[in-house]
């Protein structure tokens, strides 16, 4: 039985593109008592591998913590694999707002001692005695209360690109470090203030809130489902965002934009920028913020040293790397003194610049369109799309719109349409029609006719 990845990330990326499916990026976690974490891990791998699910998952005797990418069409089947376990019945899955089919390219499930990599190894308090969970609307309300202290329980590189207004953003590299610091800072307010906390997906606050209740804080609250879930509720309920900037996430996107505010600077030139990157030198791999100009000038490197190294022959690079520890230090090294504009600790509350919206002006202009059907397949090499006509009819010469979360809104005029292998003037309901599409389309993209 296959229990590990057999494809490289590159092979997987090509496969995902060829399949043309929509994928959802999601995360979830659950604390539970797991008797045999290794067996649990293997069972999950077999079930999820069959569903083409990818991601980074930690399993421990205390539970599971997962960040994943799942084909949209397998979403329900995926949910059933979770519901098979009592402790995950009705579990909340945080689905990311932005779509990216390449958010994860491997299925990696690791058995660990704890489910949060930089978690708290303290068994002296009851981890189930947690703070009050707040939804986005309630969270906004409590932030308006002058008696509220809000604390960011993420790391310096995360809060640098985005955080809640007026939040305390501890200058720490691990979550574990921030707990005693905050405890000391707020020790005189254990009774009179609301201690309100948040993190990326909510999991760190589960433990942090239990810790602070154990330390004697009376009014402890936490953002349910973290910033990921907050962003989703903002969209669904049309709420005002009290979070500014970007939410850093650990997948290939390295961030999900919540507001258009850019609050951080390129670490090299100081220009407003909030795009993280990893240094091109594999012996460094530093995570830092770099603008497009510096990326071009520095060839994706964090320093002139690294730039020199990547131009060396590979054998010399490997020789230089020998004996050096990179791995888990990657993020600590985010504080390299080469980075002049790196900030942590006290962070600005105001935007330095506004993010450019991707050029998609057409969406704003009202076009009259009629739904015709949906995409069934994309032949990558031939650049031909296949669609099923479900309503009305499609004629050669029609102006059409192809629309989907990954594809966006793309218009084109049809010169030639083919049904059953022959060129035709009209495709009718039930026909499978193919025509050239000069861009990649996704399964289930909607096909519209534009009528003027």
Q: How far is the CB of 308 from Zn ion (least distance, A)?
A: 11
* Rounded CA separation 274/66 (Å): 25
Give me the 269-298 binding string for Zn ion, x by CB under 5 A, dash otherwise: x-x-------x-x--x-x----x--x----
Closer to Zn ion by Cβ: residue 34 or 339: 339
Q: How far is the CB of 369 from Zn ion (least distance, A)?
A: 41
Cα-based distances in Å from 236 to 66, 143, 231, 240, 419: 24, 20, 9, 11, 40
Total chain residues near Zn ion (CB under 5 A) = 12
Q: How far is the CB of 266 from Zn ion (least distance, A)?
A: 3
317-346 residues in contact with Zn ion (CB under 5 A) are none
CA-based max dimension of the chain: 80
231-270 residues in contact with Zn ion (CB under 5 A) are 266, 268-269
Closer to Zn ion by Cβ: residue 283 or 408: 283
Closer to Zn ion by Cβ: residue 90 or 323: 323
Cα-based distances in Å from 308 to 241, 303, 304, 317: 43, 9, 6, 10
Closer to Zn ion by Cβ: residue 141 or 305: 305
Closer to Zn ion by Cβ: residue 224 or 274: 274
Q: What angle do CA 333, 184, 113 make, to 5 degrees?
A: 55
Closer to Zn ion by Cβ: residue 263 or 294: 294
SS (H, E, C) the chain: CCCCCCCCHHHHHHHHHHHCCCEEEEEEEEECCCCCHHHHHHHHHHHHHHCCCEEEEEEECCEEEEEEEEEHHHHHHHHHHHHCCHHHCCCCCEECCCCCCCCCCCEEEEECCCCCCCCCCCCCCCCCCCCEEECHHHHHHHHCCCCEEEEECCCHHHHCCEEECCCECCCCCCHHHHHHHHHHHCHHHCCCCEEEEECCCCHHHHHHHHHHHHCCCCEEEEECCHHHHHHHHHHHHCCCCCEEEEECCCCCCCCEECCCEECCECCCCCCECCCEEECCCCCCCCEEECCHHHHHHHCCCCCHHHHHHHCCCHHHHHHHHCCCCCHHHCCHHHHCCCCCCCCCCCCCCCCCEECCCCCCHHHCCCCCEEEEEEEEEEECCCCEEEEEECCCCEECCCEEEEEECCCEEEEEECCCEEECCEEECEECCCCEEEEECCCCCCCCCEEEEECC
Q: How far is the CB of 287 from Zn ion (least distance, A)?
A: 10
296-315 residues in contact with Zn ion (CB under 5 A) are 302, 306
Give me the 350-389 binding string for Zn ion, x by CB under 5 A, dash otherwise: ----------------------------------------
414 lies in the site for Zn ion, by CB under 5 A:
no
Q: How far is the CB of 315 from Zn ion (least distance, A)?
A: 19
Q: How far is the CB of 239 from Zn ion (least distance, A)?
A: 34
The question of whether 199 is a catalytic residue gets the answer: yes
Closer to Zn ion by Cβ: residue 93 or 286: 286
197-216 residues in contact with Zn ion (CB under 5 A) are none
Q: How far is the CB of 249 from Zn ion (least distance, A)?
A: 22
Q: How far is the CB of 294 from Zn ion (least distance, A)?
A: 3
Catalytic residue among 199, 266, 273, 302: 199
Closer to Zn ion by Cβ: residue 137 or 340: 340
Residues with active-site annotation: 199
Binding site for Zn ion (CB under 5 A): 266, 268-269, 271, 279, 281, 284, 286, 291, 294, 302, 306
């Amino acid at each position: 039985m296959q229990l590990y990845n057999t494809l490289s990330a590159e092979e997987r990326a090509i496969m995902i593109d060829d399949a043309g499916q929509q994928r959802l990026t999601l995360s979830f976690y659950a604390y539970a008592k797991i008797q045999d974490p290794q067996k649990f891990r293997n069972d999950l791998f077999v079930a999820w591998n069959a569903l083409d699910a990818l991601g980074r998952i930690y399993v421990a005797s205390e539970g599971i913590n997962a960040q994943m990418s799942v084909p949209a069409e397998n979403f329900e089947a995926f949910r059933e694999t979770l519901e098979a376990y009592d402790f995950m019945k009705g579990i909340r899955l945080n689905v990311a707002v932005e779509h990216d089919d390449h958010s994860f390219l491997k299925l990696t499930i690791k058995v660990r001692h704890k489910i949060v990599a930089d978690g708290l190894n303290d068994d002296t308090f009851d981890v189930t005695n947690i703070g009050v969970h707040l939804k986005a609307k309630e969270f906004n309300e409590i932030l308006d209360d002058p008696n509220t202290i809000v604390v960011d329980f993420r790391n310096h590189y995360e809060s640098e690109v985005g955080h809640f207004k007026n939040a305390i953003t501890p200058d720490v590299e691990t979550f574990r470090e921030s707990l005693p610091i905050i405890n000391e800072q707020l020790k005189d307010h254990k009774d009179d203030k609301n201690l309100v906390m948040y993190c990326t997906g909510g999991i760190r606050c589960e433990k942090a809130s239990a810790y602070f209740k154990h330390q004697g804080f009376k009014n402890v609250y936490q953002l349910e489902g973290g910033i990921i879930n907050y962003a989703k509720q903002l969209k669904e309920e049309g709420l005002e965002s009290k979070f500014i900037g970007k939410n850093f996430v650990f997948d290939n996107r390295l961030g999900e934009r919540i507001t258009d505010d850019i609050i951080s600077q390129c670490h090299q030139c100081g220009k407003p920028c909030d795009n993280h990157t990893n240094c091109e030198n594999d012996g460094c791999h530093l995570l830092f913020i770099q603008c497009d100009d510096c990326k071009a000038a520095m060839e994706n490197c964090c320093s002139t040293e690294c730039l020199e190294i990547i131009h060396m022959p590979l054998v010399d690079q490997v020789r230089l790397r020998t004996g050096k520890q990179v791995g888990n230090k990657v993020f600590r090294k985010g504080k390299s003194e080469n980075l002049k504009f790196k900030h942590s600790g006290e962070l600005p509350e105001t935007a330095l610049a506004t993010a450019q919206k991707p050029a998609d002006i057409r969406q704003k202009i009202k076009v009259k369109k009629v739904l015709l059907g949906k995409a069934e397949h994309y032949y990558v090499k031939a650049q031909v799309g296949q669609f099923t006509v479900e309503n009305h009819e499609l004629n050669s010469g029609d102006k059409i719109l192809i629309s989907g979360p990954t594809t966006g809104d793309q218009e084109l005029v049809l010169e030639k349409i083919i049904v059953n292998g022959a060129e035709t003037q009209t495709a009718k309901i039930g026909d499978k029609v193919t025509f050239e599409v000069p861009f990649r389309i996704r399964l289930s993209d909607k096909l519209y006719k534009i009528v003027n």
